[in-house]
Amino acid sequence: MQLEVGPDPAEVGRARRWARSRLAGSGIGDDEPLAETLVLLISELVTNAVVHTGCPAVLRMLFGGPGVRVEVADTSDRAPARRQACGEDTGGRGLELVDGLADRWGWQREGAGKRIWCEVDRAQPAAPATRPDQEFAWRREPRVYL
């Protein structure tokens, strides 16, 4: 399943609505934590593509295996970069949020552009999956709260 997204910030809301309808169609209820997490991740990744590249993008959702994979491909050759938000900054937290919510995420070159992806498991896997074609990937480590 995929959605073409134009280089307009208004497209982020359309991407969220599209994602909710696809999640519901796959049996993931709108009020489930998994759906809320995926919609937030999609919002962040599409916002990054639209705001930081100014290029059209393609949003993909892949259902299968233990969870859901989200991919956003754009035609910009600029690599994603983590920014350091300070204090009351209204931006600069997107990739930190993705890192905190996704079980795995990364990016890879695709043609003249790139694809940023993240995966959210329905249940915690025994071992993280890796792909040989990924350039960079991050995996969230379990957090221990005392």
**Per-residue pLDDT averaged across 85-114, rounded?**
82
- All structural domains of the chain, each given as residue ranges with its CATH number in brackets, are 2-139 (3.30.565.10)
Using CA atoms of 64, 66, 68, 73 in order, give the dihedral in degrees to the nearest 10. Answer: -80
Q: Please check the confidence at residue 43 and state whether its pLDDT lies above 80.
A: yes
**What's at 115, amino acid-wise?**
R
- What pLDDT is recorded for position 91? 61
Asked if 21 contacts 39 with a C-beta cutoff of 8 angstroms, the reply is no
User: Alpha-carbon distance 139 to 135, whole Å?
Assistant: 14
**What's at 54, amino acid-wise?**
G
Q: Please check the confidence at residue 144 and state whether its pLDDT lies above 60.
A: no
- What pLDDT is recorded for position 122? 86
Q: Please check the confidence at residue 21 and state whether its pLDDT lies above 90.
A: yes
Asked if 39 contacts 102 with a C-beta cutoff of 8 angstroms, the reply is no
**Per-residue pLDDT averaged across 115-142, rounded?**
62
User: Alpha-carbon distance 39 to 21, whole Å?
Assistant: 11
Chain segment 49-84, per-residue pLDDT in tens:
998 888 899 999 999 878 999 999 999 988 887 666
- What pLDDT is recorded for position 86? 60
Q: What percent of the chain has pLDDT over 90?
A: 57
* DSSP per-residue letters across 59-80: EEEEEETTEEEEEEEES--PPP
- What pLDDT is recorded for position 128? 44
Mean of all residue pLDDT scores within the chain: 83
Q: Please check the confidence at residue 126 and state whether its pLDDT lies above 50.
A: no
